Chains A and B, each alone.
Chain A
């Protein structure tokens, strides 16, 4: 089932009555979440991604705008009737119930024609437990489980009533790095197996990029860009999106366009035909650097970080807006750094230019 968000807006009244400043948590969000896809809502904290999720769940009411599940307008519908599954950031497992009782809980609430008999409920609970691979933990209490196990129980509890929509609020934030990697694959697998339209919230761009069918990048309540992870990465709409996606992050320089050429400092990097002369911010992805003796960008080397597969060359450049310029070079090239400057050629598709004032992307033709 697809979810349509139409002009969705949430304004929180100000806490301090004197100042009267309202907080616009979500500003005019329009998006159609396609059926059966995994969508990542991504952004720094306070960007409105969780608020959006809670509005879809019904736990928060939008100030204006509408939400549709399929053809049904659910804007005014209470959470109880929306038929969603929600996994909370802290899981919110009932501490006094065993894992089995926790998973059974939503089923025991079913009334009327949906009411199930005991065996059917148990079957469903086992099925859900199997899906998240916690069959052997059913008789334990949540306090006897690790974070990752609790997380699975929470997912099982959300899935057991076969919701039309699954919502996950920062599902991996309480897990350690290794478990996070494992669990995100797990979420992807479960979502694919069940085909439930899933929305999850994260501030970790890597997490969102790695498992989402589509990502929505938000900032200060405003949607910055929506698209497939690779598309958003390769074609960021603005400086914020470019900076937010990618590890190591994109290198940004202050530059200028003059007579169809992009200059970073005094280095003439590439041709940007058709772009009027102006001050710009240039962003270069770390993988966009190629070591080249005749390359246009000249940096002062600092050191080399070896990461096995790749080598990261750390250097400085006077026009860089970050303290360090970080490039990723294939480890096939043995790199010995001397005191002499390193020179880079730049892959044009890995270089973006943005308006200096607004951060808006300036498109140019790549030959």
Chain B
């Protein structure tokens, strides 16, 4: 057969990608699974000649029982559950508004897309600066040289300034800053996808809605959102996956301490935990944590798909 004669060519053309995938994706995955099930696996110990790691689920047990893990899991879930809906709804409203205007549309699109091409650590540092209070906070007579832009605004409207991220700040304030940052950072990609979806909707549906005297909010909820549902589902699913992998944003705002000075690690996330385990030469535990994260993302994505199957049209 002609096809089988040609087959070696197909494999040849595919081989660069396959080889790279095997080396850098498949092998590490197998390795991760293997390491996760080796009791107290450590790369250093292995180099030292200790090669007989027993098979077991001790790594998982240690990860799950670790108080840091529970904190990290709660942080991660909170970040996802709050930031994904907010950013999706905001992105939808902004995309609809952008789609509706004619003048400056391109310019505004560019502005809204800027965060996407900006380094997230840099954005994090800018956000940190906006919320940072410079001076001696927490002493009996605080001496403060700058409250940060956000506090300046609050004070301008007569409010009390808030210790957002500095020493002595509360957990909810940290969370607020982080979620603001994550939402803002997530907007451009979502807006882009939704705007693309909006341009794909036949204009006649809107003309038909106009002929039928449809109120604006109803056009949005009954026509735009359903017709955009495939894109919305995509944006929500990728949002959750990205959210569960949240790490750089915390580094961007709090630095490697993963929390304000007085409570290091309090804002840690799942990925942060994996890094920590690697840093302390506990590759076995890191692998176990990675597998747990994988499991969580899988389950959440399956739930997302199940929900979207009911509500996504087409």
Contact = CB atoms under 8 A, between A and B. Distances in A.
Interface string B214-248: 11001000110011010000000000000000000
B202 A92 contact: yes
Given A90-B204, A95-B314, A85 B227 contact: no
A105 interface: yes
Top 3 nearest A-B pairs (CB, nearest first) are A96-B313, A106-B212, A92-B204
A347 to B, nearest CB: 47
Contact of A81 (B204, B205, B207, B213): B213
B212 A96 contact: no
11 contacts: A78-B210, A79-B207, A80-B214, A86-B207, A86-B211, A88-B207, A92-B207, A94-B223, A96-B314, A105-B212, A109-B212
B208 interface: yes
Contacts of B314: 95-96
A168 interface: no
A282 interface: no
B208 A88 contact: yes
A109 B211 contact: no
A20 B207 CA distance: 29
Interface of A: 57, 59, 78-81, 84-86, 88, 90, 92, 94-97, 105-106, 108-111, 157-158, 161
Contacts, number: 59
Contacts of B210: 59, 78-80
Contacts of B213: 80-81, 106, 109-110
Residue with the greatest number of chain A CB neighbours at <10 A, chosen from B204, B212, B214, B215: B212
Given A86-B211, A96-B314, A108-B218, 8 more contacts: A79-B207, A88-B204, A92-B205, A92-B208, A94-B226, A95-B313, A105-B212, A105-B214
A13 to B, nearest CB: 14
A86 to B, nearest CB: 4
B209 to A, nearest CB: 8
Contacts of A80: 210-211, 213-214
A309 B209 CA distance: 48
A109 B218 contact: yes
Contacts of B211: 57, 59, 79-80, 84-86, 158
Contact of A111 (B204, B208, B215): B215
B208 A86 contact: yes
B222 to A, nearest CB: 8
Interface residues of B, number: 19
Contacts of A84: 211
B205 A109 contact: no
Nearest to A111: B215
A325 to B, nearest CB: 44
A77 to B, nearest CB: 12
Interface in B180-220: 202, 204-205, 207-208, 210-215, 218
Contacts of A92: 202, 204-205, 207-208
Contact of A96 (B214, B215, B226): B226
A158 B210 CA distance: 12
Nearest to A85: B211
Contacts of A109: 212-215, 218
A311 to B, nearest CB: 46
A83 to B, nearest CB: 8
Residue with the greatest number of chain B CB neighbours at <10 A, chosen from A81, A85, A96, A97: A96
A313 B202 CA distance: 48
A306 to B, nearest CB: 44
A158 B227 CA distance: 21
B233 to A, nearest CB: 13
B221 to A, nearest CB: 12
Residue with the greatest number of chain B CB neighbours at <10 A, chosen from A84, A106, A111: A106
Contacts of B208: 86, 88, 92, 94, 157
Contacts of B214: 80, 105, 109
A95 B227 contact: yes
Nearest to A114: B213
Nearest to A79: B210
B195 to A, nearest CB: 20
Residue with the greatest number of chain A CB neighbours at <10 A, chosen from B204, B215, B226, B314: B204
Contacts of A111: 215
A108 B222 CA distance: 11
Contacts of B212: 105-106, 109, 157, 161
A18 B218 CA distance: 42
A79 B227 CA distance: 23
A200 to B, nearest CB: 15
A105 B202 CA distance: 18
Nearest to A163: B211
Contacts of A78: 210
